[in-house]
Amino acid sequence: MGLKRNVSLGTGLRYKGGGPMLVFVLHRIGGLGMATFVTIHILSSFFGGDIGQFANQIYENWVFQIFIFFFVLFHAINGLRITILDLWPKLIPYQREAIWVEWAVFLPIYALAAFVILRTGLAGG
Amino acid sequence: MASKSRNLSITGRGLTNFESIMWVFTRLSALGMYALILFAIIGALIMGARNNMNMADVLRWGFMPNVTHVASTDVPDTAPFATPFWKLVASALLLVATAHGVHGLVVIADDYITSEGGRKIVRLLSIIMMVSMSLMGLYIIWTS
């Protein structure tokens, strides 16, 4: 692979990709986050002990759950959009519209879940 | 050229190398995980989750149908959740998810690491991680 890039990180950050770029970046961050989450969760379940319990306590905390649920749900819904558009390539010209549909599906589900987690969390549940 | 090849059908693009096969695998495994998670959620509802589990507990079971994930709920008897059948479903989900995840890590490494050697190292580390996580996960599923 003759990969050669003459683009610096600063130029990359200033790239104005708009909506599609935003979902691309969120999909990446969410994927990396889940890989980290699952790895630590498997390690803590496998080895147990004090450190394992400490890790699992963080995962059960409602602040962490609001955070991780955003990325898991976004990765799942955005992944479904990518899969549908890639398996039916005739839909690719409509990808901006598909991204609007994706947000319309994601935001109500996430808002409801975040509300429930927040209410239980603040009630000390 | 870019817009033309993008609009070709799946078969028209040709699955000639490892990367394009993995490209398709990433999409299909996403659908597979949707199917497995829905299957586990429906199974939990049939096994009485609708009276004894809240939505978060059902989802936690859905994302990994391992019996320890229902241990802290109000389900009176966790035995139906601990059958070899659900261990097989959990193993399938674990293996599909790690395979999907490791290719994601490799793609991200390919995008941001410019040196050939660095990409090889990250590729190797990702594969080692995938294999060890699969084995540890299988051990946890079948001994819990």
DSSP B74-125: S-S--GGGGSHHHHHHHHHHHHHHHHHHHHHHHHHHHHH--SHHHHHHHHHH
Report the alpha-carbon distance of residue B134 to residue B121 in Å, rounded: 20
- pLDDT mean values, one per 10 residues, chain B (144 residues): 55 72 90 94 87 82 86 80 91 94 90 86 91 92 87
Q: Do A45 and B68 touch (CB under 8 A)?
A: yes
- Which positions in chain B touch A5 (Cβ < 8 Å)? 114
Is the full-model pTM beyond 0.90?
Answer: no
C-beta of residue B94 within 8 angstroms of C-beta of residue B64: yes
Chain A hits for B114, CB-CB cut-off 8 Å, are 3-5
> Going by C-beta distance under 8 Å and a sequence separation of 6 or more, which residues neighbour residue B8?
A89
Chain B closest-CA separation from residue A94 CA (Å): 12
Angle between helix B55-63 and B18-44 (nearest 10): 140
CB contact under 8 A, B68 and A39: no
Number of A:B CB contacts under 8 A?
57
Burial class of residue A49 (count of CB atoms within 10 Å of its CB; 0-12, 13-18, 19+): exposed
Least CB-CB distance to B105: which of A35, A76, A86?
Answer: A35
Cβ contacts (< 8 Å) between A117 and chain B: which residues?
Answer: 56
Nearest residue in chain A measured CA to CA from B37: A76
> What's residue B10's pLDDT?
60
Q: Which of A39, A72, A80, A115 to probe by mutation at the B interface, max B CB count within 10 Å?
A: A39
**Model confidence pLDDT, tens digit, residues A14-73:** 777 788 888 998 999 999 999 998 898 888 888 878 888 888 888 888 888 888 889 999
